[in-house]
Amino acid sequence: MIDYHLHLWSHDDSSVWYRLDQVAQYCEEAQRNGVHELALTEHLYRFVELRATVGDFWTRWNYEPTAPLMADYFDFHARNSLEDYVTFAQLAKSEGLPVKVGMEVDYYRDQMDDVAALVNEYPFDVLIGSVHWLNTWQFDDIDSAVHMDEWRTRDVDQSWADYTIALEELAATNCVDVLAHPDVIKVAGHYASHPEPLWDRMADAAAAVDVSVECSSSGWFKPVAEQYPADGFLDRLVARGVTFTTASDAHRLERVGSRARDLATLLEARGVHQLATYEQRQRIMVPLRSAQ
């Protein structure tokens, strides 16, 4: 098994630190859960280089009510050096820890060419792509009353449709190797009345560019209380021959590799017996249960 979505710091941390013993502890916890290879995939928005690349993008959307929150979010998080992070991840790998150098890349509407140019300057093994906001609405920030209140006023079906467009566009950029938590729009428990056509579109988008898709346990710990992707969405991805990674999206030690065996069972039940791993952004297929 693999865990290709891990963070070194919680969302409560601003300026970050780097400790080899933390990564070693992650590896030990992962092994207890049957996971033998990790990818360190910190959020790209934590780094000043990304802020310089995308600028104050929240001002482009007519100063939505959630724009001030996005401005505050970047002021809090975007304080760290991308060079330092990559150097540390390379060190952890060179020390013999079973980790890959990765990054979680958010979707920035109309700016992904610039984002791709930035990440291509660094020797990443794997880039996972996520849609965490629509314009300036952070629909998955379940700890923010303001963002969650938006669900009360917005049309849920339209929100799902907007998310689907964003995921389609992210996949089409070829900027990332893996689509992370592909139906995270459901995180707060709000489901489209008919998600099936949207699942079809997202599955088609992944298959069209041969991007891998993450099967993640993190949804089991959220209000929606189910894995990403949902069963019906997962069925569609399998039917289209999409390759998969598995992940916990852990932000702390005790969640590393969480419920990895349950993810394996879901995939095996659908005839999936290999996982996609990456080295220098080249895919390498390995057996699901013995990925090392």
Output the pLDDT for position 291.
47
Assess if residue 151 is contained within a domain: yes
Assess if residue 133 is contained within a domain: yes
Q: In which band, very low, low, confident or very high, does the pLDDT at 292 lie, cut at 50, 70 and 90? A: very low
The pLDDT tens digits for 195-235 are 999 999 999 999 999 999 999 999 999 999 999 999 999 99
What is the residue type of 112? M
CA gyration radius, the chain: 18
The pLDDT tens digits for 24-53 are 999 999 999 999 999 999 999 999 999 999
How many folded domains does the chain comprise?
A: 1
Assess if residue 32 is contained within a domain: yes
Q: Give the other-Cβ count within 10 Å of 166's Cβ.
A: 20
Assess if residue 280 is contained within a domain: yes
Indicate which CATH number applies to the domain containing 187.
Answer: 3.20.20.140
Longest dimension (CA), the chain: 51
Domain span at residue 236 reads 2-287
Assess if residue 11 is contained within a domain: yes
The pLDDT tens digits for 119-175 are 999 999 999 999 999 999 999 999 999 999 999 999 999 999 999 999 999 999 999
The pLDDT tens digits for 247-287 are 999 999 999 999 999 999 999 999 999 999 999 999 999 99
Question: Three-state SS for 156?
Answer: helix
Q: In which band, very low, low, confident or very high, does the pLDDT at 60 lie, cut at 50, 70 and 90? A: confident
Global pTM value: 0.96
